[in-house]
């Protein structure tokens, strides 16, 4: 099994295409804004700017900072293109039976670990993602997932920072360098650099193709991280922790590249 070297030329083309699409979206936003100008003019004024316009500015700022801070977004697909089946690959740490009614996610934070239930997770805004899932062994499939954006989860519980504040990708000094995830039995474990963990497409997924995750795909909760190969998409999360030292990583210990970035 060989590691694939990234094709830089291809990446560059993809990047140009993404920029083009991004600016296209902004341009469309501009036309829409112009067309609704009179509506905006009569809208309530918030801090000196009409509310709808202000929201548009904030949206654009948000998109810009996402593009700047995260380098790239994985391409996404219409949900109809997702394959109805998905092969199951890798059963390390998920072979034992699991009692979904008592499962809790453990989050190591200071001296008082948090315990998070599926109900807690379902109370977060649901983020959907349809992208091409790539296994380092050479297969890929378009897959559709839904769950909680990792950055929303981290922001809510003030995770991943030394100060205990909400993590901010711009405040490098306050961020732990890594997050680690492992299965409840410790049989599979991964380390993820903090910026990739906080990437807007990284999700704690509880649904696949619109239904609750099956055990073979990581019920009740798995990591979906489209900027990395399948190996980092840990199924059946038991514990999440944060550190400055590189966490141990199952496939890295077996000779694979640590980052497994796409």
Ligand X SMILES: Nc1nc2c(c(=O)[nH]1)N[C@H]1C(S)=C(S)[C@@H](COP(=O)(O)O)O[C@H]1N2
Interatomic CA distance for residues 194 and 202, integer angstroms: 11
Find the shortest distance in angstroms from Cβ 98 to ligand X: 11
Does 90 bind ligand X (CB under 6 A)? Our answer is: yes
Select from 161, 183, 196, 202 the one that contacts ligand X (CB under 6 A).
Answer: 183
Q: By C-beta, is 218 or 230 nearer to Mo ion?
A: 230
In this structure, the strands spanning 178-182 and 189-193 are antiparallel
Q: Does 94 participate in binding ligand X (rule CB under 6 A)?
A: yes
Give the interface with Mo ion as residue ranges (CB under 5 A): 135, 230
> What does 217 bind: ligand X, Mo ion, none (CB cut-off 5 to 8 Å by kind)?
ligand X
- Interaction between residue 221 and ligand X (CB under 6 A): no
Q: Which stretch binds ligand X (CB under 6 A): 20-28, 66-74, 91-99, 159-167?
A: 91-99
Give the nearest distance from C-beta 259 to ligand X in angstroms.
Answer: 15
Site residues for ligand X per CB under 6 A: 86-94, 135, 183, 188, 217-218, 230-231, 233-236
């Amino acid at each position: 099994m060989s590691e694939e070297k990234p094709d830089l030329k291809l990446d560059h083309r993809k990047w140009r295409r993404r920029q083009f699409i991004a600016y296209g979206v902004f341009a469309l936003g501009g036309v829409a804004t112009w067309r609704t100008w009179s509506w905006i003019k009569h809208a309530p004024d918030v801090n000196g700017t009409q509310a709808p316009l202000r929201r548009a500015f904030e949206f654009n700022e948000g998109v810009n900072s996402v593009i700047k801070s995260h380098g790239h977004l994985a391409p996404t697909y219409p949900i109809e293109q997702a394959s109805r089946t998905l092969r199951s690959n890798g059963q390390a740490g998920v072979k034992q039976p699991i009692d979904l009614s008592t499962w809790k996610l453990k989050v190591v934070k200071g001296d008082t670990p948090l315990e998070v239930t599926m109900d807690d997770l379902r109370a977060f805004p649901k983020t959907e993602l349809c992208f091409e899932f790539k296994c380092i062994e050479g297969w890929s499939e378009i897959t559709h997932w839904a769950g909680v954006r990792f950055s929303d989860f981290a922001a809510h519980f003030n995770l991943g920072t030394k100060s205990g504040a909400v993590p901010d990708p711009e405040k490098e000094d306050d961020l732990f360098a890594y997050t680690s995830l492992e299965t409840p039995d410790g049989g599979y474990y991964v380390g993820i650099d903090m910026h990739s963990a906080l990437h807007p497409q990284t999700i704690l997924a509880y649904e696949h193709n619109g239904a609750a995750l099956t055990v073979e795909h990581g019920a009740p909760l798995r990591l979906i991280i489209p900027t990395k190969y399948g190996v980092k998409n840990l199924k059946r999360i038991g514990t999440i922790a944060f550190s400055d030292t590189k966490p141990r990583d199952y496939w890295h210990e077996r000779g694979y590249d640590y980052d497994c970035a796409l």
